[in-house]
Chains A and B, each alone.
Chain A
Amino acid sequence: MSNQKVTLDANEAAAYVAHKVSEVIAIYPITPASPMGEWSDQWSMAGKKNIWGTVPEVVELQSEGGAAGTMHGALQTGALTTTFTASQGLLLMMPNLYKIAGELTPAVVHVASRTVATHALSIFGDHSDTMAMRMTGMAILSSNSVQEAMDMALISHAATLETRIPFLHFFDGFRTSHEVQKIDQIPVEVMEQLINDDKIIEHRNRALTPDNPLLRGTAQNPDVFFQARETGNKYYNAAPGLVQKTMDQFGKLTGRSYKLFEYHGPEDAEKVVILMGSGAETAHEAVDKMNENGEKVGLIKVRLFRPFSMRHLIESLPDTIKGIAVLDRTKEPGSAGEPLYNDIVSTLQENRVEGWKSLPADLKVINGRYGLSSKEFTPPMVKRIFDELDEEKPKNHFTIGINDDVTHTSLDYSTDGWDSDEEVFEGLFYGLGADGTVSANKNSIKIIGNNTDHYAQGYFVYDSKKSGATTVSHLRFGPNPIRSAYLIDKANFIACHQFQFLNQLDMLKKARKGSTFLLNAPFEKEEVWDNLPKKVQEQIIEKELKLYSIDAYKVARENGMGTRINTVMQTCFFAISDILPRDEAIQLIKDGIKKAYGAKGEKILQSNYKAVDNSIENLFEIPVPKKVTSEQEMRPPVPEEAPEFVQRVIAEIISGNGDDLPVSAFEADGTFPTGTTKWEKRNIAQEIPVLDPDICIQCGKCAMVCPHAVIRMKAFDGELLEASPESFKYMDARGREWPDNTKVSIQVSPEDCTGCELCVEVCPAKDRKQVGHKALNMEPIDPLLEQEKENWNFFVNLPEYDRSKLKVETVKGSQFLEPLFEFSGACAGCGETPYIKLVTQLFGDRMVIANATGCSSIYGGNLPATPYTKNSQGLGPAWSNSLFEDNAEFGLGFRLTIDKQAEQAREMLQNMNGHVDKKLVGEILNADQTTEPGIYEQRERVATLKEALGKTDDSKAKMLTSIADYLVRKSVWIFGGDGWAYDIGYGGLDHVLASGKDVNILVMDTEVYSNTGGQCSKATPLGAVAKFAAAGKRTGKKDLGLMSVAGGHAYVARVAMGASDMQSIKAVLEAESYPGPSIIIAYSHCIAHGYDMKFGLNQQKLAVDSGYWPLFRFDPRKEEEGKNPFQLDSKPPKINLEEYAYNEMRYLMLAKSQPKVAKQLMTQAQSEVKEQWRVYEEMEKVYDPVKKNGESENGSGN
């Protein structure tokens, strides 16, 4: 059978098979499994058929629980059904997996295994999710590599039909799911032969149908449940044999043979490691090398983990075995051992009884944990584990890859003597997310994979920040299959695509002697050397590196490619790496360009071709002098004045040395200090806004929209200016409300700015003599950096203006408040963060935040640094993220505690006879805390109370002290995106809105699952393209606003800061003051909409002007006051929907790909907008008390 080579990652490999052999596919996004669903949706939308000639039905659900339920239903009615997930998603599927397995239903769940959130969330890979499923009754089959992900996917689909046991097929998240490899593609004929049609018919014959009615899912009692539960045993007993039979048949068809427990090593090996997943590939590599060096070691790759066949395992062990190390990529706290270890120990014990094989009585068996959350697992670690087995009493329950200096579980290891294979090319490429480095490297892998006999591997380390993100590409090419499932540590090619990285990252420490260093430098070739930092020069000389340089941005710009330097750098790589003959490589790059861009038009194609040719002309080898000429030191990761914890822990993470931090560096419960982003100076802006104080009108709009709290406004007494730096800008405060000599400054933090330009776009103040010049204008940062750093330091140290004297209900007044959310890793120009920042300005000193998983939890809480911060009194938001699906409930829990503790404190306060002054008690109990001064005074009173309580030894006093702070009003906020509020968390949100409790919900509506790459949610509008809605969404956006209004007792607002910042502030203030549940639905422009984010506010305005996003506020309090609670805050539509929608790629791309459908959907969307407006106007009338009363009078009069 023809073996076509393809270059892809495991997600695509598994999805390829799943789509070919399924009828129904239920999907829901979750990292790192989302691409499997995306591929399936895209293929079905493109009409790609399965092996039976029909296009699989792909359906997105509201949660993984929903996907599992749908899968269960589709299976029960006889469809071949699959789904994809990971981590928490798999946990949400768990109840259904018990059912599906209990009913012996053939099905496959493909899992890109990911860490289950515990003390922290992690998107990276380990087996904690899969291992949590081992009691469900699912068969569990492991893939260790990209090739296996395709092969085992098919074996799962075939074997589930043979065995009737549903399969969980898993591979390591990111390490395998996102690793690109050149592999053999399984031909369709193999699928047709391996999948047994008779078994499909049997499956269908078991389906629920009124044509043959039967019943499943009974409730059973103590008399029969147990026996009935045992009926499935025979299927589980038979399964391992049937899976092996399927593997054998697969081997015959493809030449790739697999075993349930696959031993690799010499027959007479004395030591064996047993493990599963990508680590087995690394162990394979290590074992080969160790055996070459004369050792006798082997490994067992566990493929079928459930049903666990003890017999097969024992048979796979070499007769000479003396020691076994079982490695688990998971942690089961408090267990006797990790899951695989426990199974192995049980097996060995049963072998003693059953006598399947004679094994030494003193056989050593130890267990270790490795690789949690994609922690590196390398050959030296494998060697170290084997060495441990030589110890008389080897350490058990060890860890490897970390330094456990607390409970001393870890094994130390050395990397000395582990040089990579000489025949393997290993290249490291450092780039920025936006410069196209990763796509160029993916393309290079395809070129090399498809045009040489070489094997190819690519793995990409991405950033957890969404702006100014760094990427590192790890590329390996070689004549033999590549099993190195770990990062490159010693490279023979290093490319630095961003010159500024040289000051921040020590990339050359990974350079092998004599290797090649390619640098994108914005200098003439003669100037390159002298501009390198000292350390870099030293390393180049010491390691005898060959240095090449190109001004890639210049070449890209001159060829009309803007800042995309991918083609330029890729060409340089091929020109100097000798992997392919230069001319051939260039032709292949051009062919690749044609393939990638051919569909996008001739002009793009030509620009890229020209860039290729010009790259060679502009690439120079830089002669390396013998001595260092530079004095320039690398930049420290954090300033010297940063606090101890930041220096000791956070700085190490920032520098890329987080792997070296020991266990003792961390709190045992996942707690982290807030307010640490201010120490991570990222310096990512090329240009920053510069104020012209002569034009500024102090409106505060710039500070309000700044997504990163980088531009701020402060009012202060002029006397404080004495110590100001010379270039510090300030103005006389405008307006009568200020005391004499009050000055106002608007200052930018140059090192934290992302250069998004939202502030400049929103600035309404134009120079009357030169209208293009505004009060804020972007200017190159280089000449301004030092001066503005000094100005910023002066500015932040000026005292904050007295909050109680500000008109916080105005845009201007609110912006003199200190933001307690700053410098997050959100996208440049983010549309969500301005709302969060505003809330922290208004209530930050008294708020606690429950944050749904998503963008806002990532920029809110992803290490290294935390953006929520404290004011000068040490008060600020307390923040936590529970899960994706439970956030409203999580926040409700906060409220319940706060209310309960406040109530208890009040009760106790009344019983503190003699210890507390009665007047103070009365004042505290009767305090008005509805205003800023009211809260301030209450805080003072509570301080006095605590002081008084501190003077007694009374146990009641101690108890009261512990909750006395709850006597000061607290503000509970529940933050999340539309994926949470409209879909996965809607049930909880609905319940919390109905609870009557005083919580404030902020829904930052980007109309897609932004954090996982823009999948469709129920907030996605009609006609927009999103992932999982590749052909345009066919139903309208759910109106969460009106649904919430319908409940009748929640405060509801729909806002869009770009359309009315004033209305946004009003809504936030009203929501917070409302004594029951409040929900604010905030239009949040997003990178996933596909347009220039600097125009985000303008686009918000168009959304409102078109009537697509009507602004309104619904305040039930008004009804009691005899006023209309429903207030429509925007005007009737004045532009067509098209004028708004077609600014955005999400709409436009449908018009470009399916114009007829797009036209029809746009017509429908326009009419829905009109209808929506009509309904909103009606709503206003419905709630109008005058009209309501009038009608009722008429009614009663008749």
Chain B
Amino acid sequence: MNLETKYLGLTLKNPLVPSASPLTSELDTAKKLEDAGASALVMYSLFEEQISSENEALDHFMTTSGESYAEALSYFPEPDEYHNLHAEDYLEQIQNLKKTVDIPVIASLNGVSKGGWMAYASKMEEAGADAIELNIYYIAADPTLTSEKVEQMYIDDLKAVKEAVSIPVSVKLSPYFSAFANMATRLESAGADGLVMFNRFYQPDIDLEAMDVNPNLNLSSTFEKRLPLRWIAMLRPHIKGSLAATTGIHTAHDVVKMILAGADVTMMASALLYGGPDALKFMLSEMKVWMEEKEYQSLEEMKGAMSSASVADPSAFERANYIKILQGFRLEDLK
């Protein structure tokens, strides 16, 4: 049985890829993931803002209290140098991962501003990354900011990274666009080698005891896969490049569904955080069982077999309303 798949021009031994998560921060764990069957690794994300805001805070606390009171002109010894100012740790980890595992390593660059962080893309390439996943997340809360401007920002960010590197670049993004299908094709035209659907944000929650708002990130559940499933199925006919499904992939069946919808790879973090690297082994064998049952010889045969272009009723993916789903009711049919 051939499980090989192509993703961002890379040939992967199967479609199971651990997505950006803390799992890749330990070399041991990365090796275990490879041994358990992972076909590539997406590294944890490099957040440029985190680096710069920590440094700003450091500067703030080192300087604001000093040079004020005669006995204490400062409150901290000033270090000669700061470590990891330019994400050296991350770049070093790329190199270490490349030494530790044989599967491709995809670096993940996270951010939104068109600031200095674009420069990290070429450093990632130099450090040996096989591809870059550009994770753009932006909550367009400013009511004066138009959708055109937001979309253009995505396009500009992507172009800046594409110009900086020669390795493949995928874009991980959110589904929250007025016209997501259009946006997806625009990104492809702007040079995206693949789309990763979708990223998950920190979401606010309300603490009823303290009456506070606490943003945090919960692990995903299998029910959440339906959103990417829909969009992969609908976009598959329109996108030539790679599609990666992420969010809610917990079981072999989830993987199979995504591939049928048209994904080239499936990415998972929560399932591995719950089940450990060995979850991959289990998924692979389950997947093989299903393929055998359904008499699929290779993954390529499966890919997109149930995309909107391949199913009998493509509108099933587009239905957005309870009544329609229950009754298949169409107003125009009555006329």
Chain A interfacial positions (CB closer than 8 Å to B): 31-32, 34-35, 38, 41-42, 45-46, 123, 174, 178, 432-434, 436-439, 442, 460, 462-466, 469, 471, 562, 564, 597, 599-604, 766, 771, 827, 858, 1010-1014, 1025-1027, 1030, 1087-1088, 1090-1091, 1145-1146, 1148-1149, 1152-1155
A564 pairs with B76, CB closer than 8 A: no
> Which of chain B's residues has its CB closest to A433's CB?
B68
A1088 pairs with B82, CB closer than 8 A: no
With A600-B55, A604-B59, A1149-B76 as known contacts, state yes or no: A466 contacts B85, CB within 8 Å.
no
A1013 pairs with B52, CB closer than 8 A: no
Across-interface contacts of A34 in B (CB, < 8 A): 71
Interface string of B85-117 (1 = CB under 8 A from A): 100010000000000000000000000000110
B71 pairs with A1013, CB closer than 8 A: yes
Across-interface contacts of A465 in B (CB, < 8 A): 69
> Which of chain B's residues has its CB closest to A47's CB?
B80
Across-interface contacts of B79 in A (CB, < 8 A): 1030, 1149, 1152-1153
Distance between A242 CB and nearest chain B CB, rounded to angstroms: 37
Across-interface contacts of A1146 in B (CB, < 8 A): 76
The CA of A600 and the CA of B85, in the complex, are separated in Å by 7
With A123-B71, A1013-B75 as known contacts, state yes or no: A602 contacts B116, CB within 8 Å.
yes
Across-interface contacts of A466 in B (CB, < 8 A): 68-69
Q: B81 an interface residue at 8 Å Cβ cutoff?
A: yes
B75 pairs with A1087, CB closer than 8 A: yes
Distance between A46 CB and nearest chain B CB, rounded to angstroms: 5
Q: B143 an interface residue at 8 Å Cβ cutoff?
A: no
> Which of chain B's residues has its CB closest to A461's CB?
B70
- Which of A38, A436, A766, A1087 has the most CB atoms of chain B within a 10 A radius of its CB? A1087
Across-interface contacts of A471 in B (CB, < 8 A): 67-68
B54 pairs with A1148, CB closer than 8 A: yes
Chain B interfacial positions (CB closer than 8 Å to A): 51-52, 54-85, 89, 115-116, 211
Across-interface contacts of A433 in B (CB, < 8 A): 65-69
A462 pairs with B70, CB closer than 8 A: yes
B69 pairs with A603, CB closer than 8 A: no
> Which of chain B's residues has its CB closest to A29's CB?
B71
B58 pairs with A1152, CB closer than 8 A: yes
What secondary structure prevails in chain B residues at the interface with A?
A: loop
The CA of A45 and the CA of B78, in the complex, are separated in Å by 11
B83 pairs with A462, CB closer than 8 A: no
With A599-B85, A600-B82, A604-B56 as known contacts, state yes or no: A1013 contacts B74, CB within 8 Å.
yes
Tell me which of B61, B68, B80 contacts A469 (CB under 8 A).
B68
Known: A464-B70, A1149-B79. 9 other contacts (CB 8 A): A46-B80, A178-B73, A442-B67, A1010-B72, A1087-B65, A1145-B76, A1148-B54, A1152-B84, A1153-B80
B115 pairs with A463, CB closer than 8 A: no
A1153 pairs with B82, CB closer than 8 A: yes
Tell me which of B58, B59, B83 contacts A1155 (CB under 8 A).
B83
Across-interface contacts of A1011 in B (CB, < 8 A): 71-72
Across-interface contacts of A1152 in B (CB, < 8 A): 54-55, 58, 79, 82-84
Across-interface contacts of B85 in A (CB, < 8 A): 599-601
Tell me which of A35, A439, A469, A1091 contacts B69 (CB under 8 A).
A469
Show 10 A/B contacts (Cβ-Cβ < 8 Å), sorted by A. Answer: A31-B70, A32-B71, A434-B65, A603-B56, A603-B116, A1013-B75, A1014-B72, A1087-B65, A1148-B58, A1149-B58
The CA of A178 and the CA of B54, in the complex, are separated in Å by 31
Distance between A657 CB and nearest chain B CB, rounded to angstroms: 19
The CA of A123 and the CA of B115, in the complex, are separated in Å by 48
> Which of chain A's residues has its CB closest to B73's CB?
A1013
B77 pairs with A1027, CB closer than 8 A: yes
With A31-B70, A603-B115, A1013-B71 as known contacts, state yes or no: A439 contacts B63, CB within 8 Å.
yes
Distance between B25 CB and nearest chain A CB, rounded to angstroms: 12
B64 pairs with A564, CB closer than 8 A: yes
B62 pairs with A1012, CB closer than 8 A: no
Distance between A534 CB and nearest chain B CB, rounded to angstroms: 30
B72 pairs with A771, CB closer than 8 A: no
B77 pairs with A38, CB closer than 8 A: yes
9 smallest beta-carbon distances between A and B, as pairs:
A433-B68, A1013-B72, A462-B70, A438-B67, A1030-B77, A1153-B79, A601-B55, A1090-B61, A1014-B75
B72 pairs with A1012, CB closer than 8 A: yes
Across-interface contacts of A1088 in B (CB, < 8 A): 65, 72, 75-76
The CA of A600 and the CA of B83, in the complex, are separated in Å by 10
The CA of A465 and the CA of B58, in the complex, are separated in Å by 24
Distance between B97 CB and nearest chain A CB, rounded to angstroms: 18
Tell me which of B51, B52, B55, B76 contacts A1014 (CB under 8 A).
B76
Distance between B275 CB and nearest chain A CB, rounded to angstroms: 23
The CA of A503 and the CA of B146, in the complex, are separated in Å by 48
With A460-B67, A1013-B71 as known contacts, state yes or no: A600 contacts B58, CB within 8 Å.
yes
The CA of A281 and the CA of B215, in the complex, are separated in Å by 63
Across-interface contacts of B78 in A (CB, < 8 A): 42
The CA of A34 and the CA of B75, in the complex, are separated in Å by 12
Distance between A525 CB and nearest chain B CB, rounded to angstroms: 29
A1155 pairs with B74, CB closer than 8 A: no
A1145 pairs with B62, CB closer than 8 A: yes
Across-interface contacts of A1010 in B (CB, < 8 A): 72, 75
> Which of chain B's residues has its CB closest to A1153's CB?
B79
Across-interface contacts of A31 in B (CB, < 8 A): 70-71
Distance between B205 CB and nearest chain A CB, rounded to angstroms: 14
Across-interface contacts of A1013 in B (CB, < 8 A): 71-75
Distance between B233 CB and nearest chain A CB, rounded to angstroms: 42
B211 pairs with A766, CB closer than 8 A: yes
A1145 pairs with B57, CB closer than 8 A: yes
A1090 pairs with B69, CB closer than 8 A: no
The CA of A174 and the CA of B70, in the complex, are separated in Å by 9
The CA of A1153 and the CA of B79, in the complex, are separated in Å by 7
- Which of B64, B65, B70, B80 has the most CB atoms of chain A within a 10 A radius of its CB? B70
The CA of A1088 and the CA of B70, in the complex, are separated in Å by 15
B69 pairs with A462, CB closer than 8 A: yes
Across-interface contacts of A1090 in B (CB, < 8 A): 61-62, 75-76
The CA of A58 and the CA of B170, in the complex, are separated in Å by 53
With A604-B56, A1027-B76 as known contacts, state yes or no: A1012 contacts B61, CB within 8 Å.
no
> Which of chain A's residues has its CB closest to B77's CB?
A1030
- Which of B58, B65, B69, B115 has the most CB atoms of chain A within a 10 A radius of its CB? B69
Tell me which of A434, A436, A771 contacts B211 (CB under 8 A).
A771
The CA of A1014 and the CA of B76, in the complex, are separated in Å by 7
- Which of B57, B68, B72 has the most CB atoms of chain A within a 10 A radius of its CB? B68
B55 pairs with A604, CB closer than 8 A: yes
The CA of A1148 and the CA of B50, in the complex, are separated in Å by 13
Across-interface contacts of A41 in B (CB, < 8 A): 77
Distance between A715 CB and nearest chain B CB, rounded to angstroms: 28
Distance between B131 CB and nearest chain A CB, rounded to angstroms: 26
The CA of A602 and the CA of B75, in the complex, are separated in Å by 24
Across-interface contacts of A123 in B (CB, < 8 A): 70-71
> Which of chain A's residues has its CB closest to B57's CB?
A1145
> Which of chain A's residues has its CB closest to B70's CB?
A462
Across-interface contacts of B59 in A (CB, < 8 A): 597, 600, 604
The CA of A348 and the CA of B254, in the complex, are separated in Å by 104
A599 pairs with B82, CB closer than 8 A: yes
A434 pairs with B68, CB closer than 8 A: yes
Across-interface contacts of A1014 in B (CB, < 8 A): 72, 74-76
A463 pairs with B52, CB closer than 8 A: no
- Which of A38, A178, A602 has the most CB atoms of chain B within a 10 A radius of its CB? A602
Distance between A33 CB and nearest chain B CB, rounded to angstroms: 11
B52 pairs with A462, CB closer than 8 A: no
The CA of A434 and the CA of B63, in the complex, are separated in Å by 8
Distance between A468 CB and nearest chain B CB, rounded to angstroms: 9
Across-interface contacts of A174 in B (CB, < 8 A): 70
> Which of chain A's residues has its CB closest to B212's CB?
A771
Distance between A122 CB and nearest chain B CB, rounded to angstroms: 11
The CA of A42 and the CA of B67, in the complex, are separated in Å by 19
Across-interface contacts of B77 in A (CB, < 8 A): 38, 41-42, 45, 1025-1027, 1030
The CA of A1082 and the CA of B215, in the complex, are separated in Å by 32
